[in-house]
Structure formats: structure tokens, C-alpha cells
Structure 1
């Protein structure tokens, strides 16, 4: 008789039941955030953390955070800013952090989490306007990761990258 199938990993809003203790992604700041600060940010509603968990242990395999934010219109490439209303600031969704546990790196979990974050951002933008998703790439590897998925640098801060919500919408027909 075959073994009962394990439930698939799933992305959930961070809960106290999620096991964050063994998580390590190789970047101390991202590890420290998940271990010590993420719960406070969630409780104070300054970030909405989502975790990929492995049932039944609820071990965190990766995470990301989303927040409402703004960017200055003059930071956008001229071509895009010409298409938008002339407001000094524009609403965006900030993908604040994204990290994957070291033992599962290479399993495309980062890509999966990014797509989940983009989907949630698009869904939220239907209720509360956001014209793009913005990330702050921590290093050159992160810049390359986001560039691979179509994010482009803002003019004034090249490590701050964006993906127009119109492009995000095209990913989910």
C-alpha cells in the first residue's frame, strides 16, 4: 500500500507556529531579521511577511515581505514617467526582503517566492493602487536575479529596481 502523500509546501502569512529557528540564508542581516524582527514588523503592520513552509514541521524554507511605499516620479525612466500622471510621488509595493534557506538553494524557491510576491502585489493593487513593485537589491547577485525577471534600475538609485504593475499583470493572464 503506498505511503500517504506529504502535503506540498505552501506560502502562508507568517504565524507564530512557523519554525524559523534553523533558517539561514548566508546573509546575516536577512537571517537576523527573520529570527528577531519579523514578528514585530508584522504586529506593527510595517511589513507583511510571507513564508514558504514545509508541512508538517512548518519549517520555513524561504520568506519575503511586502509593504506599501512610494517612489519619486523623477526617479523613473523618462519614457515611463511621460506615460504617468504628473504627481511628485507614486504608489508602489515594496518587496522588502526575500531569502531562501541554504539547504534548499538551487531548487528555484527564490523564483517561486518572487512570483508569489508579484501575484499578491497585483491582487492588492486591484484594491489599493500601486503602479509598480520595487526592490532594493542588496548586492550584485540580487541585482542580477531581479534583472532576470525584468526589474530595471531607477535613475537615481541603481540598486533600487522596479517592475511596472502592467508588466506584472502580463505574467498572470
Structure 2
């Protein structure tokens, strides 16, 4: 017998969020109380990790359109960019994994799905990078492991250029 296949889906009413616990009260509360409202209002697009046919949420992330000031990006990268004061990016606003799945690669699975969706969307709605705002040093280290770079002046605000993301999915 094979293990159930995990899937990432847009959050909807059938997903069971009630038991989700990642260890961060703010991230738990967001999923349980705010994520559906944000989706309905087109403020954020929440995606959830499930093992179908089960609907229990085991992880989630959100994506939304955003901008960064050109001054926040290292000068070595801005040399090749237009001189716009604000640059379009995709914001990976939240990413959390239920404690029952920690250490099983769920965070990486969610991140790669988010990066792929951001890259796919960038062909239709421009975004030059994915930006994250890590909640603490541990979260920042997670993103740096995947080559995210710090934005100035906040070391917990990180970005990954879309060209770098594209190389992850070549071939």
C-alpha cells in the first residue's frame, strides 16, 4: 500500500482548520479566523496542504501582490533593473506547518509550491522577486537556506529574485 499523496489546494470552506497548531498563536489564529475572509476579499490567496481525501489542514501559505522600494534591494542587483522607485514583487505573507508534520519536509514542499505559483503568475502579472517577512531568526534561517537574500535594512525581510526561482524549475 502506498502512502497518501499530499496536495496543496486553494483554501475553501471544506478544509478543516480547527485542529491546526504550528506553535505560533498568531499563525494559528490567522488560518482559523482570517484566511477565508482575506481570500474572499482578494487581499491574500491562502493555499493549504492536505492528504486527500482528508480535508484537515497540515500546512498553509499565503501569496499576494506587493512592492518593494528600489533602495531596499542590493545595488548589485538594481543595476540591471529599471529606475522605478517601487518594484513589483509577490509577497509570501505567511507559511506555517502543523506540528504533527514538522520534520517531514512539509515546509519545503509548501515553499516550493509557493515559488512555482509565483513564477507562473509572474508571466502574466509582473513580479521581479518573492519577498518574505520572517517572524524570527529561525524562520529567516529557513529562507536563507533556499538562497533568499536580505532586503535593506531589515535582516528578517528577505527576497528571492524571480530569475533565481526560474532556475529552480528549469528542465
TM-score of the superposition, structure 2-length normalised? 0.97
Q: Once the 2 structures are TM-superposed, how far is the Cα of residue 81 of structure 1 from its aligned partner? A: 1.0
Q: Once the 2 structures are TM-superposed, how far is the Cα of residue 115 of structure 1 from its aligned partner? A: 0.2
What is the count of residue pairs matched by the alignment? 170
**Structure 2: distance between partners of 1:159 and 1:122:** 22
Q: Once the 2 structures are TM-superposed, how far is the Cα of residue 9 of structure 1 from its aligned partner? A: 1.5
**Structure 2: distance between partners of 1:55 and 1:48:** 20
**Structure 2: distance between partners of 1:18 and 1:24:** 15
The C-alpha deviation readout for 1:3-60, integer Å capped at 9, x for no partner, is 6x56512100001000101000000100000010001000000000000112222111
Q: Please give the root-mean-square deviation of Cα atoms over the aligned residues, in Å.
A: 1.0
Say yes or no: does 1:66 pair with 2:63. Answer: yes
The C-alpha deviation readout for 1:93-128, integer Å capped at 9, x for no partner, is 000000000011000100000000000000000000
**Structure 2: distance between partners of 1:47 and 1:91:** 16
State whether residues 67 and 93 of structure 1, in contact with CA within 8 Å, keep that contact through their aligned partners in structure 2. yes
**Structure 2: distance between partners of 1:39 and 1:52:** 15
Say yes or no: does 1:105 pair with 2:113. Answer: no
Say yes or no: does 1:150 pair with 2:147. Answer: yes
Alignment of 1:1-173 (within 5 A): 7-173=4-170
What stretches of structure 1 move > 3 A for 4+ residues in a row? none
TM-score of the superposition, structure 1-length normalised? 0.96
State whether residues 30 and 99 of structure 1, in contact with CA within 8 Å, keep that contact through their aligned partners in structure 2. yes
Larger radius of gyration: 1
**Structure 2: distance between partners of 1:157 and 1:67:** 20
